[in-house]
């Protein structure tokens, strides 16, 4: 199902890890910056906004529109 770009980015960011903590020692590793580059299929929806989804497969034919690429970086603020 295709989503508006804003919804797609919210879904991507909510799945990113914030930290990993070792249960035995309590030591952890936080993630402050996360960069992604993912292939996307895109169309313009009925409202005239860009709608995207991840590709459904790896097979590409000469009849299909080429995949686009979304490059995004997420940076966590100190308050998070």
Residue 80 falls inside a structural domain: no
Fill in the DSSP letter of residue 48. Answer: S
Nearest to residue 55, comparing CAs of 65, 44, 45?
65
Three-state SS at 1: coil
Q: Is the pLDDT of residue 71 over 90?
A: yes
Residue 33 falls inside a structural domain: yes
| Average pLDDT over the chain, rounded to an integer | 83
If one counts the domains in the chain, the total is 1
Give per-residue pLDDT as tens, 8-19.
Answer: 999 888 888 777
Please state whether the predicted TM-score (pTM) of the whole model is above 0.85. no
Range of the domain at 68: 3-75
In this prediction, residue 79 carries a pLDDT of: 55
Q: How confident is the model at residue 78 (pLDDT cuts 50, 70, 90)?
A: low
Sorted by sequence, the CB contacts under 8 Å of residue 80 that are 6+ apart come out as 18
* Contact (CB, 8 A) for 3 and 41: no
* Contact (CB, 8 A) for 68 and 44: no
């Amino acid at each position: 199902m295709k989503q508006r770009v804003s919804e797609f980015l919210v879904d991507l960011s909510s799945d990113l890890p914030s930290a990993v903590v070792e249960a035995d020692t309590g030591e952890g590793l936080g993630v402050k910056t996360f960069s992604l580059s993912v292939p996307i299929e895109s169309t313009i929806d009925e409202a005239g906004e860009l709608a995207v989804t991840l590709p459904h497969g790896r097979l590409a034919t000469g009849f299909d529109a080429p995949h686009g690429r979304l490059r995004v970086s997420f940076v966590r603020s100190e308050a998070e």
